[in-house]
Amino acid sequence: MFEIVPNLSEGRDAGTIQAAIAAVEAAGARVLNWSSDAVHHRSVLTIAGNESAVLDAAVALAGVALERIDLRSHSGVHPRIGALDVLPFVPLRGATLADAAALAHRAGAEIWQRYRVPSFYYGAAARTPERNLLPAIRSNADWMPDEGDVSRHRSAGAIAIGARDILIAFNIELGTTDLPAVRAIARTIRERDGGLRSLRALALPRGDDRVQVSLNVTDYAATPLYRVVELVRELAAERGIELLGCELIGCLPLAAVEATAAYYLGVTTL
């Protein structure tokens, strides 16, 4: 069993999301969860299935994105390089990270052959060390892709296809319009700037009354969610900013829920 968590650069057109879900189901995979955000202009699907089902679903999603999403007229606060922007493969039951990486490579090759949309491989699927991290791929617009002989498709851009272990994506909403202050909080907490292990963080505007800390936790055992939330709460309070709430994107392991619930309930076991 594998999981894929495709990120589509479309968060406003319900018809496109329904077409994506239908394509996944026609491929024999199961949509466990999906969420869309109009400000991010992005949708995230959590999909599970066996090797052939998730591979077919991934290729089908690239076709839906190519047909229905045009980056030349796209606007949204979330960084992106493609219509089907990110496509990670995650090993679940009876699968390894190496299996997921091999599947990611097969998907990239099939998408290029069928649709001529190029791909970059990251995470455990990366073919060079400098492409291991997704932010590096986003920030190096002059890199040629790992799959394909053009840097970008005219309307669909490129896809970052990866292999990784389970990741938790969630957001913390802060009651402020002070984007620089929230960017400082994100820099303080994220791993690459000396913060919490396995944590990635960005500050994104969310309208007229709030700014969001957008978070990825790549090792929830090393960095439990309650620790992230309480650290952000503390750093925000130092700046006179209120924490308004949190938002989960996609699914998360039961163990992560149990650890966080145990902390807030004040018990050692559940």
Q: What is the CATH number of the domain that holds 135?
A: 3.30.990.10
| Domain C-terminal end among 163, 192, 208 | 163
pLDDT at position 219 = 93
Pair 106, 198 in one domain: no
Nearest C-alpha neighbor of 248 from the set 227, 225, 219: 225
pLDDT at position 206 = 87
Q: Name the token pair of 109.
A: 């090759």
Q: At 66, give phi and psi (nearest 5°).
A: -60, -40
SS3 of residue 163 by DSSP? strand
Q: Is residue 270 part of a domain?
A: no
pLDDT at position 125 = 98
Pair 212, 193 in one domain: yes
Q: What is the CATH number of the domain that holds 251?
A: 3.30.70.670
Nearest C-alpha neighbor of 71 from the set 61, 81, 63, 62: 81
Pair 146, 51 in one domain: yes
Pair 159, 175 in one domain: no
Catalytic-labelled residue, pool 40, 41, 74, 78:
78
Nearest C-alpha neighbor of 30 from the set 45, 15, 9: 45
Low-confidence spans in the chain with pLDDT less than 70: 268-270
Report CA torsion sign: 189, 193, 198, 203. Answer: positive
pLDDT at position 155 = 98
pLDDT at position 34 = 95
Pair 131, 188 in one domain: no
pLDDT at position 269 = 57
Number of domains in the chain: 2
Pair 55, 176 in one domain: no
Residue 78 appears among annotated catalytic residues: yes
Reported residue count of the chain is 270
Pair 248, 126 in one domain: no
SS3 of residue 158 by DSSP? coil
Q: Which domain holds residue 217?
A: 168-265
CA pair distance 65, 36, nearest whole angstrom: 15
